[in-house]
Copies of this chain bind each other. A is one copy, B any other.
């Protein structure tokens, strides 16, 4: 039993290493994982036989091995599994289909009505979205080995439990179970910003860093933390709540019902609320349009609009500085898709942050802006589900 467990663990470790670093030769696997060469040989044979990995000719550019000796590297067999990732936003579900090697196979977007859904209704919308995705890839739902889902809100990912989400009409929904049963596919639910952190760790600019923070800026402010190469979730599964850290005692009213939250100063609705309150812009039906109007007015030199935008930037810088003081991360990634939050990505904001961190004679952490297409959230979902699909696959392998 212990032996079998150890074997599955070694398979898992090697598969993950090939997934993250491949294509690479067997000898590198032994060096990197500390698993003996003999064991690497036998376990990679099992992975090959199971169709999870494949051999490819070595790219010999820059290689100084003698010509004529055929060498092979190992890589993940993309066709072994299909994994879906998706993010539920206010007005749409964006979906990605990925192969076992992390390559995009298809994209799909499904418009949804911006409202709160019952768990069954939302599961149904997701199911329809997945059918659309599968159609584009000319496959069926049953070809998909796992689905990773990102929701805004507070999620206990380990239990697939959604404490609350703006997309659901009730609290404490075991949405992982609801969705798995509805789809007949294993589904894994997490907070959307956590999935962005996983995407950065897996495919993105966090790939070579073990301690970083990802801040997502949409209509709210999200955060994912990677510490020691692992996503940090907190003990109740609800850490990394950056948007509702307080930046002002008894300050501006937040949509969460509390006062002084960072979001109550930097979120789109907060910026519009301030600008409208003094007539810097007029009330509009769409918040994004109104934010654009405030930004345009600020750029055109309107002093009131500028004051509004400047305070949002200063509050954001203050929040970032607090994260640096507490975590001392290697890097902070500001990730987002919408140009409308340009003012928070500005150099002046990052400079303001640097002035507010504890001053030591070492450079402050890197702050990197990473602009994404809208499918990057979904890719994070697929990357999250991929880990589980890998684990299930190595467990299902027959022993040699």
Contacts and interface: CB of A to CB of B under 8 A. Distances in A.
Contacts of A245: 321-322, 325-326
Interface residues of A, number: 51
Given A326-B323, A360-B154, A315 B249 contact: yes
Contacts of A228: 228
Contacts of A247: 246-247, 249
A223 B326 CA distance: 9
A232 B227 contact: yes
A203 B48 CA distance: 50
Interface in A239-256: 239-242, 244-249, 256
A340 interface: no
A351 interface: no
Nearest to A211: B235
A7 to B, nearest CB: 15
A58 interface: no
Contacts of A246: 247, 318, 321-322, 356
Contact of A358 (B223, B256, B358, B365): B256
A276 B370 CA distance: 49
Contact of A362 (B211, B236, B360): B236
Which secondary structure characterizes the binding site on chain A? loop
A239 B356 contact: no
Interface in A200-259: 211, 223, 227-228, 232-242, 244-249, 256-258
Given A236-B328, A239-B328, A361 B163 contact: yes
Contacts of A356: 246, 258
Given A233-B328, A326-B326, 10 more contacts: A171-B361, A228-B228, A236-B328, A238-B328, A239-B326, A246-B247, A249-B314, A256-B359, A258-B355, A260-B318
A359 B227 CA distance: 25
A236 B357 CA distance: 13
A325 to B, nearest CB: 4
A358 B227 CA distance: 22
Given A248-B248, A318-B246, A361-B171, A325 B235 contact: no
A365 B164 CA distance: 19
B235 A330 contact: yes
A358 B242 contact: no
A154 B248 CA distance: 26
A372 interface: no
B172 A361 contact: yes
A260 to B, nearest CB: 8
Given A236-B362, A360-B163, A242 B314 contact: no
B322 A234 contact: no
Given A163-B361, A330-B235, A362-B236, A325 B244 contact: yes
Contacts of A336: none
A325 B211 contact: no
Given A235-B330, A235-B365, A325 B242 contact: yes
A241 B154 contact: no
A326 B249 CA distance: 17
Contacts of A321: 245-246
Interface in A92-150: none
